[in-house]
Amino acid sequence: MSYSTISPAIVQVPASKSEFIPQTAVYLRVSTSQQTTRSQKPDLERWLNAQDPEKLGKVVWYSDTATGKNMDRPRWQKLQANINAGYIHQLVVWRLDRLGRTASGLCKLFEELQEKNIRLVSLKDSVDLGTPSGRLIANVLASVAAYETEIRGERVKAGQIAARAAGKRWGGSQKGRRLKVTEEQVKAIVAMKDSGEKIARIARTVSLSRITVYRVLENNNSEIKHCAAV
């Protein structure tokens, strides 16, 4: 099965509705020119090859080398224009954080895709915006992506300050430091567990260790039992 190459051009309006071919947009992103999309492409290609060609429609690849801190990226802007024009019927990504790493930008995008009835396929996250639990998980993942970006920035700043003060190189977080589990992460953990997801997958999704996930679930069960006893 053949796919169209990465196209920055906006798809032209067909002469008649009968000629209209829905577009499956495949979006890839890396942050720097030192990175490549080689880790993303194989999974995306395998997924495409497993789909019904008629349901896929025209497959167009969009690829950016840009930060995920904002949505102002050349190829994404072309893709956004096609979404606004109504040419896209599904959007496929390797993982949600490839779309961006700001909670506000991603949540706004999720709402737009849902309003336009555009299917979002995230291979590593298995998110379905058509269900309440799917929307919750998507919003949590958006918050986690933004949180990781903020933590990364704080670590870099702390490292620079420590290095200047000590006159040596420094990196990483303080030994023994445990990141805070957010309320959104707890909600996602409980929702995914209730839907039958495995602990390992839940841990990968919310970017926490399996031990932490077990502790969250244990605490949640304890709270439920306490409320029931009262």
Q: Which residues are catalytic?
A: 31
User: b/e per residue, 68-99, with b = 16+ CB within 10 A?
Assistant: beebebebbebbbebbeeebbbbbbbbbbbbb
Q: What's the token pair of residue 130?
A: 């058509």
The C-alpha atoms of residue 63 and residue 35 are separated, in whole angstroms, by 12
Question: Which residue is associated with the tokens 């300050």?
Answer: 161
Residues 6+ apart with CB under 8 A from 100: 68, 69, 70, 71, 106, 109, 145
The C-alpha atoms of residue 216 and residue 211 are separated, in whole angstroms, by 9
User: HSE of 34 in the Cβ direction (CA atoms, 13 Å)?
Assistant: 0
Question: Which residue is associated with the tokens 């990781």?
Answer: 148
Q: What's the token pair of residue 42?
A: 């194989």
Contact 62, 25 (CB under 8 A): yes
Contact 83, 34 (CB under 8 A): no
